[in-house]
Amino acid sequence: MVSTVIFFLFAGFAIACAISMVYHKNPLYSAISLIGVFIALAGLYVTLAATFIAVTQILVYAGAIMVLVVFVIMLLNLDEDKPLNRLRYLYVVGAGLGVALLAQTFFIFYAVLKTPKSPADPDSLAGSPMSIGQAMYTEYLLPVEIVGVMLLMAIIGAVILVRRMEQPEMEAVIEQESENRIE
């Protein structure tokens, strides 16, 4: 009973932060609201006995990813935008999609209530850090390595995009690095 109440409190907090994220016009306030959503999701994962995913949610998303998002927001230095009157029809499209999403939510809620309840196996180690690590470095080793290489390529691409050197300056830096390696 208590876990159900805690679950609904975290779910309500996540929904409130998500609405706040969409409502605010300032992107920094929206990013802070998104951090609230991530923290609420981590709390939901804890109530579902998925502690590894909860800790990963906090460390990766609420920590690292959101720091990068805030840095990008600050680097872009976004000014106040004027409202676009020509896109008013999108409000109707958004309302229609919102109603469809609400219908899907009620359908899922109904389907979950009608499914037979089966007790969870307490001896199961599914979702534990040991089982995740074992699967990651045995069965799923190739996808993990591919993701690692893709992240490395993304970092290299970001560094190249951030550098704002002209072509002659870039060639001078490359020549200097080549000379330093030879010596």
Residues 170 and 145 in one domain: yes
Whether 3 and 57 share a structural domain: yes
- Judgement on whether residues 114 and 129 belong to the same structural domain of the protein: no
Question: What CATH number should be reported for the domain holding residue 68?
Answer: 1.20.120.1200
Looking at the chain, which runs of residues are DSSP E strands? none
Token output for 124 = 């199961």
Task: Assess whether 3 and 71 both reside in one domain.
Answer: yes
- Which of 118, 136, 168 is the last residue in one of the domains? 118
| Pair 34, 71 in one domain | yes
Task: Measure CA of the first residue to CA of the last residue in the chain; give whole Å.
Answer: 71
Closest CA to 74 of 31, 122, 127, 113: 31
Question: Residue written as tokens 């590894």?
Answer: 52
Query: Which H or E element spans position 71?
Result: helix 66-76
Contacts of 57 (CB under 8 A, 6+ apart): 38, 41, 42, 45
State whether 109 and 57 are in the same domain.
no
**CA dist 149 to 136, 144, 152, 156, Å?**
16, 9, 5, 11
Radius of gyration of the chain (CA): 23
Question: Are 2 and 60 contained in the same domain?
Answer: yes
The whole domain housing 17 covers 1-79
Q: Report the alpha-carbon distance of residue 29 to residue 35 in Å, rounded.
A: 10
Whether residue 16 sits in one domain with residue 54: yes
Cα(56)–Cα(31) distance, integer angstroms: 19
How high is the pLDDT of residue 104? 92
66 contacts: CB under 8 Å, gap ≥ 6: 31, 34, 35, 38
Which of residues 70, 98, 118 is at a domain's end? 118
Same domain, 44 and 75: yes
Q: Mean pLDDT of successive 10-residue segments in the chain (183 residues)?
A: 86 92 85 90 87 86 81 69 68 89 89 80 70 85 90 84 66 79 74
Same domain, 16 and 32: yes
Residues 104 and 134 both lie in one domain: no
CA–CA dist 55, 78 (Å, integer): 32
The count of domains in the chain is 3
SS3 115: coil
pLDDT for 10: 92
Q: Based on the domain organization, do 7 and 61 belong to the same domain?
A: yes
**Among 118, 141, 169, where does a domain finish?**
118
Record the pTM: 0.55
